[in-house]
Amino acid sequence: MENRVTRLLGTEHPIIQGPMRFITMAEIAAAVSDAGGFGLIAASSLPGDELCEQIRKAKKLTDKPFGVNISLRRPNAPEAIEIVIEEGLKCITTSAGDPGRFIDRLKEAGINVLHVVPSVKLAVKVEQAGVDAVIAEGVESGGHLSYDEVTTMTLIPQVADAVDIPVVAAGGIGDARGYLAAMALGAEGVQMGTRFLATVECAVSEDYKKAVTDASDTDTTIIERGISPMRALKSEAVSQLLELEKSGASPDEIKKFTEEHATDPISGDVCKGIVSVGQVAGVIDRIQSVKEVIEEIMEGSRSITENLYQQIRQTAV
């Protein structure tokens, strides 16, 4: 399909691979782009030379468009902005900060910018700042969340009504049903993170992938509420952290515990430590290739649309 999002990204499908710190590097970004989506390298906390290396590696792996996600609250954001300009990328996503600080520089370089927002208010604000599209992310997503915990189902239609630029839906989307629901709510594309964890090309450990495919609807929870909310997979460390929070521990104590028990996504024990996983894990039951994931979503959405059309026709009769 073609719409405003595919034209911004330069892709066949309006599917963005969600960035995950230290996980989504060149290999999976290139695989997503080769499959018709838009792969992202997570620049968060990457030294400049490593970011350059990952971008150049992705260029060798694919001739399709891919981008970089830049967390604007990280100290390396200004350097990362200059690197994506120097490397000639045409589209990036930004998050966790004010894109207005960099928008003129990026626009001068001819770069399209999609910014992640958790609320209608911020969507309107970044539209005024000059971004090309917003990625509206609901509380179902893995990783860091907003304090207000607005769900994707309620966030997307409100953002779509409030802005004129394209809206991409994120949070709780992992199959054709979620994709089509997001489009029905007013989005013109989707961003998925957790779904791409359980893929052959993802660099995380097999135990991490298995934890995603084994998860049920209640196997994630939110930690660090009131400090830096984050959705994580339930584990021994997460249970201990929740008890620590209930005991009235200070923010410094909670942050220290989280840092000490953060699990290495490549080699760590996800059953004991702390790893990010979105609620949509309950929908994911097998590990597939990136290409299979994207093809199933696009083909499945067509099938669902045809079935709905037939139901509507029958109802009308």
Query: Under a CB-based contact definition with an 8 Å cutoff, are residues 226 and 147 in contact?
Result: yes
Q: What is the pLDDT of residues 287-306, one digit of tens each?
A: 999 999 999 999 999 999 98
Cβ neighbours of 225 (radius 10 Å): 15
**CATH class for domain 7-204?**
alpha beta
Listed range (169-183, 222-236, 278-292) with the worst mean pLDDT: 222-236
Q: Does residue 207 have a pLDDT over 70?
A: yes
Q: Tell me, what's the pLDDT at 14?
A: 98
* Tens-digit pLDDT profile for residues 101-121: 999 999 999 999 999 999 999
Is pLDDT of 99 > 80? yes
Q: What is the mean pLDDT of residues 274-284?
A: 96
Task: Say which amino acid occupies 62.
Answer: T
| pLDDT at 146 > cutoff 90 | no
What is the C-alpha to C-alpha distance for residues 54 and 33, in angstroms, rounded to an integer? 15
Of the chain, the percentage scoring pLDDT greater than 90 comes to 87
Residue 277 token pair: 């996983």
Locate the domains of the chain by residue range. Answer: 7-204
Quick one: average pLDDT of 41-53? Answer: 93
Would the pLDDT of 144 be above 90?
no
Q: pLDDT tier at 155 (50, 70, 90 boundaries)?
A: very high
What pLDDT, on a 0 to 100 scale, did the predictor assign at position 317? 63
Task: Give CA–CA dist 246/260, Å, rounded.
Answer: 19
Partners of residue 262 on adjacent β-strands: 274
Structure tokens given for 272 = 């004991």
The answer to whether 18 and 202 have CB atoms below 8 angstroms apart is no
